[in-house]
Amino acid sequence: MALNVVVMAAGKGTRMKSAWPKVLHRLAGTSLLQHVLNAAAAIGADRTVVITGHGAEQVEAAVAASGALFARQMPQLGTGHAVQQALPLLPEAEDQDDSTTLILNGDVPLLRPQTARALVQACAGRHLALLTVVLADPFGYGRILRDERDASRVLGIVEHKDASDAQRAIREGYTGVMAAPTALLRRWVSALKNDNVQREYYLTDIVAMAVADGVPVVAAQAADETEVLGVNSPLQLAELERRFQRRQAEALMEAGVRLADPARFDLRGTLECGSDVEIDVNCVFEGRVTLADGVRIGANCVIRDATIGAAAVIHPFSHLEGAAVGEGALVGPFARLRPGAELGPEVHIGNFVEVKNSTLARGAKANHLAYLGDATVGERVNYGAGSITANYDGANKHRTVIGDDVHVGSNCVLVAPVALGAGATIGGGSTIAKDAPAGQLTVARAKQATIAGWKRPKKPASPP
């Protein structure tokens, strides 16, 4: 059975009070619309149509890589009018006998793929299937009208603004998600009229059409409220962010990860953890992060697109991006690993040390206030406080090679390209612009001198 997905993403989102289209605001680091498109891809949609309107060019550019087709709704005259714009992009009559169309909302980002899949199965290419939810306060939701004699039969949906007081007391709300046989959807949507208070074309009116045509209307309920909540304001976005992060935190803890406080945890990508992983408070994980067995992450760390080996410790306030950390390594506190940083086993990177595009072999140490950029560092190297690699000449980057067992004293400048032979010692305060031989002491500093009779300048006396 062919599956089409139509995503309604044309609204302005006035209550967001933002120049950005509402569906491009981010939840867990990903736009609301991209969350919906990810769900469509997860259920195997054969064709996805995104209906754009406000900020259409921005929206279409932002999700172009998804392969979705786009239909523009100008002006916005209701949900039914939106789907009318998508009809030319849905399969033609001769191709749609077994086709189902699932309609999703671009500002409802957390619908689980399994829920969407279950709704499609309920449709079965023959029924009109509605996704509903029972809420303590269904304000703003269209209400589900059921047959008083047979509660399993859905007779219609009434929009909140058109509902009577008795109808507004109904707690079962329509989520805006439905699945229908494509051929029937095309016919029903084409016949919609706008004879209502708002003079809009309501998609929900097709329920009455289905009933009139004798097409069974089924109503499946979402597993929980969170997956059908929409975003209309910054407050709602923040509340949904916390719900989503709690969902992710609970899944990690059920898998054995020990979070110091699940309420102070943010995952904006994917996080794979081995056994006995410990994560302290206020840590942010972005992109794709892998933590091996026994890893400990200190408080207030930001880790993006990184792999951390078994038993490594990332001390508090460290920032890692595009880095690989070996087994048993120690990083931080207040350390920064930039893209291309590769630490071998048992490497130590201490406070206020920055590493970029450099490899450090087993047991190398840079414990204080140092910079390593575009460097290859051997085993057991001790890299002194205040030392840097001067890797950029204003136009090009150059590499520094430091052999095994080298000792670099404090406050040294290694002017690349330069190589330090195995076992070399660099005296503190040296500026090294030529290769240093293995096993020897190299010192490059000005001769100390004391100037007899020199007096420090004084400020002129202030006038009385």
Range 136-141, long-range pairs (CB < 8 A, 24+ positions): 136/171, 138/170, 138/171, 138/172, 138/173, 141/173, 141/174, 141/175
Show the tokens assigned to 10: 């044309």
Residue positions annotated with a catalytic role = 368
Show the tokens assigned to 100: 């189902």
The torsion angles phi and psi of 233, rounded to 5 degrees, stand at -150, 160
The torsion angles phi and psi of 360, rounded to 5 degrees, stand at -120, 125
Q: How far is CA 32 from the centre of its chain?
A: 10
CA dist., res. 425 & res. 441, Å (int): 5
Q: Is 123 left (phi over 0), alpha (psi -120 to 50) or beta?
A: alpha
**Burial letters 41-59, b for 16+ CB under 10 A, else e:** eebebebbbbbbbbbbeeb
Return the closest-CA partner of residue 143 out of 114, 170, 177.
Answer: 170
Return the closest-CA partner of residue 359 out of 327, 390, 399.
Answer: 399
Q: Is the peptide bond before 181 cis (omega within 30 degrees of 0)?
A: no
CA dist., res. 64 & res. 72, Å (int): 14
**Burial letters 286-304, b for 16+ CB under 10 A, else e:** beebbbbebbbbbbbbbbb
Cβ atoms of 103 and 79 within 8 Å: the answer is no
Cα distances (Å, whole numbers) of residue 96 to 81, 122, 186: 21, 18, 10
